[in-house]
Amino acid sequence: MAKGTKYKAREPDESGFIHYTEEEHSVWKELYNRQMTIIQGRACDQYMEGIKKLGITADRIPQLGDVNKVLKKETGWEIAWVPALIPFTKFFNLLANKKFPCATFIRTREEMDYLQEPDVFHEIFGHCAMLTDPYFAEFTHTYGKLGDAADKEHHAWLARLYWFTVEFGIMNTDKGKRIYGGGILSSIGESQYALTDEPEHRPFDIMTVLRTPYRIDIMQPIYYVIDDMKQLFDIAHTDIMSYVKEAKQLGLFAPTYPPKEEQKVS
């Protein structure tokens, strides 16, 4: 949701079809194949089942219409084409209407391992599989409605809730900890790092989450772990905004990561 990007989304034609180049499909294939290998035994079952339901494969970048047919059937969601990065207000409004924003560009080979802007691989491979899960879908919808109705002063506080769940969430299972956050699942580095002993794994507590600062350009030093997917559903039906307002009064915790280095001007 930053203001600028060097990428430009590919626009659908009059029939809704997006024409990607063979090189773009090739980048998708490489990203898909390596991530599917890495996340075996790391991704939660709901995610792996969602990938199967969506019929996503390595062959080609999925068309939004094909993904939408499955999402609408499973949970009533769909993907919304957006030109690139969008502001908080637009983001919340789309989620409030069960539309998940997707900029239809794919990263270049120079940025295969890390991309600050969310591309079509991050959005579809990382996020759409989880939107087939009713609990996750309900949480995301409720989150969007709250953000859509909230004052702008509360948007950054709500963003931390999204960051530590939808993007970088981990859950307990009978097989051990598993990943459900799309920011981890679409990242080659983070998907291998997140379940190691190096980062801190904390039990999910909404007030603590809302007060935890983060940086988008580093491996996360802290992950919050939910007990199961129903916990997200239960969180969605609490008075989230009362927690947000209390967190704002209490203020942020001190960061557990080093400050971002300032670029020196010669």
Active site residues: 122, 127, 167, 186
Contact 140, 226 (CB under 8 A): no
Task: Specify which residues 81 forms β-bridges with.
Answer: 102
Task: Specify which residues 224 forms β-bridges with.
Answer: 202
Cα dihedral: 139, 144, 145, 146 (round 10):
90
- Pinpoint the alpha helices (H) of the chain: 22-38, 45-54, 64-74, 88-96, 120, 134-149, 155-162, 182-185, 188-193, 206-210, 229-236, 240-250
DSSP string, 244-259: HHHHHHH-PPPPSSPP
Q: Give the rounded distance of the alpha carbon of 227 from its chain centre.
A: 19
Q: Which amino acid is at 137?
A: A
- The answer to whether 138 is annotated as binding is no
- The answer to whether 127 is annotated as binding is yes
Instruction: Name the DSSP class of 175.
Output: T
CA distance 213 to 199: 15
* 124: its two tokens: 């579809």
β-pairing, 200-203 with 176-179? unpaired
Instruction: Name the DSSP class of 212.
Output: -
Helix 45-54 and helix 64-74, axial crossing angle in degrees, nearest 10: 120
- The answer to whether 167 is annotated as binding is yes
Residue 64 phi/psi, 5° resolution? Answer: -60, -40
Q: Which residues are annotated as a binding site?
A: 122, 127, 167
Binding residues for Fe cation: 122, 127, 167
